[in-house]
A and B are shown apart, each in its own frame.
Chain A
Amino acid sequence: MSENLSKDSIWNGGKRPFVSSYGKLMMWFFLISDALTFSGFLAAYGFMRFRNAEIWPVPEDVFTHFPFLQGEHPLLFVALMTFILIMSSVTMVLAVNAGNKNNKKGVVLWMALTIVGGITFLGSQAWEWGHFIHGDKGAIKLSSHEVVHVVDADHKLYSLYDLMNVDKYDGTDHQFLIEEVETAFNARPDLHIKRADRTIVPHQESEEFFENSQVVLGANLTHNEYGHQLFADFFYFITGFHGFHVFSGVVLLIIIFVNVLKGTYERRGHYEMVEKVGLYWHFVDLVWVFVFTFFYLV
C-alpha cells in the first residue's frame, strides 16, 4: 500500500487498518459482540448453577440417549454433534483455502460439504430437543417445586412408564395421575425416592411425596422432569440461540454458495466473501465448543 494518504482519506476509510479489508474487520467486530453475548448467557447459567449447586441436575444423567440404540450412552450423541460441527469447520477452511487459489471447483465442493454438515447438525439438534421435550423416565414435582425421582434398589433412576407398565414408545401421549403412580409405587417396596439434593428416601418414608404433587413427563418452559426448572429454561435458550446461529449460518452459506456457482467471485477476482462467511461459521463452532463443555461435560 503506497497510496498517498491525506487526513481526509484516513477518516474516510482510505487506509486499510490492520492490513485487513473492511468486510473482514466488521465481521470480526460483530463476532466480538456476539462472543460477549454468548458469554453473558453462559455466565448467567453458571450463576444459577452455583446458586442451586446442591439440586442442579447432573448433565450426564440427562443426555443419555442415542438414536436407534437401546440403553444409556451418556455424552455419545453430543460428542457426535461436536464432531459434525468440527468436521464442517474443517471443510469450511478447505473452501477458504481453495478460494485463495481461485479454485472454483474446490470452493464448490468444500462449501457444499459444509452446508451438508450444518444441516446435519441442525437435524441432530432437533432430535436432541425432541428427546428432551418428550422426556426420559418421568418425575414427581412437589408443591414446593422440588422435582424428585423414583429409584430402584441400586439407586438407579426407575422409569415411571415401567412402573405404570406401559410402553413409552407405543405412540400414544401418556399422562399419569399422581394417585395412579402412588398406588403402583406402594405395590413395589423395592423402589425408593431420590430427592433433588440426591438423598435417597426409603420406601416406607416416602408417603409425603405424593401429597399435592403432580407427575411431570418431559420438559418445557413450565415444568422439567430432569430437575430444576432453570436447567430446562437455559437449555432451550442457549442451545436454541446457538441453533439459530447455525441456521443463519447455513442460510448465509447457501447464498454465498449460489454466488460461487454463478461465478460472481470469479469475476470479482477474489473469494473474500467465502472467507467472511467462513469466519462466522468457525465462530458458531467455537461457541458450540463452550456450550458442549459447560452444558454437557461440567
Chain B
Amino acid sequence: MAEQSGTWWIWRVFWILLFVTAFEVLLGILKVNESLPESFVHGTFLGLAWLTHVFIILTIIKAAYIVMEFMHLGHEVKGLKLTILLPCVILIPYLLFILLTEGVMMV
C-alpha cells in the first residue's frame, strides 16, 4: 500500500462529509418548513419519497468516504475489499427488501 503523503487528503474528506451533512440538514429544514416542491416530498418512487432517495444516496456517499478513506479500505488489496464489502452489499439490501416489502400493509 502506498501511504498517502501529508494530511491534505484527510481534510478533503472532512470537507466533503461536512458539506454533505450540511446539505442534508438544509433539506430536512426545508422539508419541515414546507418549502420543498410537493411532488418531491410526497411523490414516491419504488415505495419511497424522492426526498428519501436523495437522503439515502447522500448517506451512502458519506459512508463510502468513511470506509474507503478513513478506514483505508480503498487502499487495501482487492481480496480484502471484496471480503469486507460483498457480505454487506449482498445481505443488507436483501434483508431490507424482505422486511420493507413485508412491512407495507396490503389492504
Q: Mark A252-281, 1 if CB is under 8 A from B, else 0.
A: 000000000000000000000000001100
Of the four ranges (under 10, 10 to 19, 20 to 34, 35 or more), the interface on chain A belongs to: 35 or more
C-alpha spacing A298/B80, complex, angstroms: 33
**Is A60 in contact with B28, judged by CB distance below 8 angstroms?**
yes
Q: Which of chain A's residues have a CB closer than 8 A to the CB of B36?
A: none
Q: Is the interface of A mostly helix, strand, loop or mixed?
A: helix
Contact of B21 among A50, A86, A290 (CB under 8 A): A86
Number of interface residues of B (CB under 8 A): 48
Partner of A286, one of B1, B67, B102: B67
Interface of B is mostly: helix
Residues in A1-53 with C-beta less than 8 Å from chain B: 17-20, 25, 28, 31-32, 35-36, 39-40, 43-44, 46-51, 53
Complex Cα–Cα for A225 and B103 (A) = 24
* B interface list, Cβ under 8 A from A: 1, 3, 7, 10-11, 13-14, 17-18, 21-22, 24-25, 27-29, 31-32, 52, 55-56, 58-59, 62-63, 66-67, 69-71, 76-77, 79-80, 83-84, 87-88, 91-92, 95-96, 99-100, 102-105
Which A residues are within 8 Å of any B CB, using their own CB?
17-20, 25, 28, 31-32, 35-36, 39-40, 43-44, 46-51, 53, 60-61, 74-76, 79, 82-83, 86-87, 89-90, 92-94, 97, 100, 278-279, 282-283, 285-286, 289-290, 292-293, 296-298
